[in-house]
Amino acid sequence: MRRYKKIECDECGLEVDKIKYLKKIKDKRYCKECYKENRGKHRNELLKIDKTLKEDLNKIKREDPRTKEYVKKAYLKKTEGIVKRRNQKRDTKVPRIKGSKEERKSNKSNSYLTHEEINSLKRMLSNKGLSWEEIDERIENLINSQKEIRRSMKEQNKSEEEIKSKQQILLQELWNY
């Protein structure tokens, strides 16, 4: 059985079995009680020198995660956000009646080609004997001419209805092509 050398506190001379029971400050070892006294004296000296340190210490104590005040504030902060989100969800939801759907109003201007219309136009032109390259060129030219007409009519300060009617006439000529 090993026998350890007993180690003493440099302040009061208390003998301790293990070195881990002593705290070290500036190459001196202190027991628990001496360490508390030493730190207390040091803190009091600092507080005498600088008055703002006391306010900072009090602030740190209040914001210390182990204090009741801080825990309570943190809890309120968390739950407040959750309650707000819950209330928002409750307010915004409207009960849906089965079978009823609101109709969406679509402001589709019939003056542009949709994807489906382009595909059907390509099929129609290919049945007439045009190659795919020619078909793509014609459709691109049509789209570019519509853009140019729209731009020129806007420069002339024409109304949207006139512009749409002009583009629809161009599309009808294309389908009759």
Same domain, 128 and 72: no
Q: For 106-145, write each residue's pLDDT tens digit.
A: 565 555 677 888 888 888 888 888 888 988 888 888 778 8
Residue 120 in any domain: the answer is: yes
Distance CA 165, CA 29 (A): 97
Same domain, 74 and 131: no
Q: Return the SS3 of 30.
A: strand
* Total residues belonging to the chain: 177
pLDDT given for residue 37 in this prediction: 92
Number of structural domains the chain divides into: 2
What number is the average pLDDT over the span 33-43? 89
Residue 140: domain span: 115-175
pLDDT given for residue 1 in this prediction: 46
Is residue 23 scored above 50 in pLDDT? yes
For residue 46, the surrounding DSSP H or E stretch is helix 32-49
Same domain, 36 and 81: yes
Same domain, 85 and 128: no
Residue 100 in any domain: the answer is: no
Is residue 88 scored above 80 in pLDDT? no
